[in-house]
Amino acid sequence: MNQKESIAVILPILNEQEHILPLLEGIESALAGRDFTIFIIDDGSRDGTLEKIEFAQKTLGNRLQLMQRVKTLPGCQRGSALFDGMKEALKRTAHRIFVELDGDLSHRTEELTVGIGLIESGKGEVVIASKYLPGSQVVNRSQGRTLVSSINTGLMRLVMNPKITDYSNGYRFYTRKAASILAGYQIRYGSPIYLSEALGIWMNNQLKVVEFPSTYIGRQEGFSKVKPIDLIKGMLAVFEIGFRYRFRRFNRNSN
């Protein structure tokens, strides 16, 4: 793969007025000298986030694309936001590398070059910034959220691939080929468990998945966007996704 590949950044958000401008500045700094487009998927922010994005567009121009959705389902719909954003990036651009990260500064933009470098070097077709590899750190995350994440990832390792250490981190990098493959499947989950579903599809298609140590910074201020319904559904979905992975039951789109 050639150096300096173009980048599509998929960024799902909801009420991130304190974080969105520093995050966009960090992304722009890390990707300086590259062709990139940031796709923001907003699920109905009402706190001034959209005004901040409008301000940022004066500098970024067409490199910042805003998709506004109306959230109608209960619980966090981060997964469906990622899927919709990825499909739009495939449709609107010819970018070769896709990046997903959170909108609340949980993921360090300084690590963008690490994940992108692993894709460009051909070491991986899907790259995960792992919270659980030696050298990783988790900062300021509540014990409850850490426990839930650890349990879900532990179960996923049992029912899917034990070599993957982090099934729940939303800081991911993948090739256009991986994006095209994923877009060709029927996605069952719009919640954060989508991350595991997507990974199962990629592994069923024999894509090379690698990880690197990452620092995850928990954001405990305000109310969490992940509701109890997400946690309950997530625990049940682990086994359903594991079944489809083991028996190759992920369904392709008919069209």
Q: What is the DSSP string of 151-177?
A: HHHHHHHHHS-TT---SS---EEEEHH
- We report the CATH number of the domain holding residue 172 as 3.90.550.10
Cβ(197)–Cβ(241) under 8 Å? Answer: yes
DSSP 122: T
Residue type, 155: L
The verdict on residue 177 lying in a domain is: yes
**47 — phi, psi (to 5°)?**
-110, 10
Domain-embedded: residue 102: yes
pLDDT at 220: 52
Q: For residue 251, tell me if it sits in a domain.
A: no
Which ranges of the chain have pLDDT less than 50? 1-2, 221-224
User: Of 83, 69, 94, which is closest to residue 191 (Cα–Cα)?
Assistant: 83
Domain of residue 69 covers 7-246
Q: Which two tokens stand for residue 113?
A: 């070059």
Residue 144 inside a domain? The answer is: yes
pLDDT at res. 230? 60
User: Does 125 map to a domain?
Assistant: yes
Q: Three-state SS for 209?
A: strand
**Does residue 117 lie in a domain region?**
yes
The domain total for the chain is: 1
Residue 192 lies in a domain: yes
Residue 10 φ then ψ, to 5°: -105, 120
Examine residue 15 and state whether it is found in any structural domain, yes or no: yes
pLDDT of residue 1: 45
Provide the pLDDT for residue 222: 38
Say how far apart CA 130 and CA 142 lie, in whole Å: 18
Would you tell me how many other CB atoms lie within 10 Å of the CB of residue 98? Answer: 26
Contacts of 216 (CB under 8 A, 6+ apart): 106, 107, 131, 136, 137, 138, 139, 141, 169, 171
- Which tens digits make up the pLDDT trace of 128-179? 999 999 999 999 887 767 777 778 888 999 999 999 999 989 999 999 999 9
